[in-house]
Amino acid sequence: SDVRILNMVPTKKVDKTPYEIWHGKASNLSYLKVWGCEAYVKRDSADKLQQRSVKCIFVGYPKETMGYYFYFSPENKVIVARYGDFLERCLISQKFSGRDYNLEDDHMDTLPSENTSEI
């Protein structure tokens, strides 16, 4: 995944990416997604009344297949799916992050300390 992304970045000497030099065309970047974003992934189920998609967190790209890795927290599993409805513009909800912060409580004393030593 890292090498694949590096091959899509222009080099200093040539104003083209290594992918463009090798293949003669621009690379397709539409499959790249924001790491850690929430996504709805369709799950196969025999029961018609069960929900069809579940909320997961995008965690990466599998090397061996086309698709994406998703973390499904209720089952504590990483699943592979070819498609997902990515919510890239939304922040991860507090339910997934596991932390419930109140920013007003998390502050540091910003007053300078008094220096009593003589120079």
Q: List Cα–Cα distances, 107 to 96, 99, 103, in angstroms.
A: 24, 17, 7
Q: Which residue has the higher pLDDT, 46 or 1?
A: 46
Domain ranges within the chain, ordered by starting residue:
1-32, 33-88
pLDDT in tens, 46-100: 677 766 788 888 888 888 788 889 998 888 989 888 888 887 776 655 455 555 5
Task: Give the C-alpha distances (Å, rounded to integers) separating 97 from 19, 85, 94, 100, 106.
Answer: 36, 19, 5, 8, 17
The overall longest dimension of the chain from CA atoms, in Å, is: 79
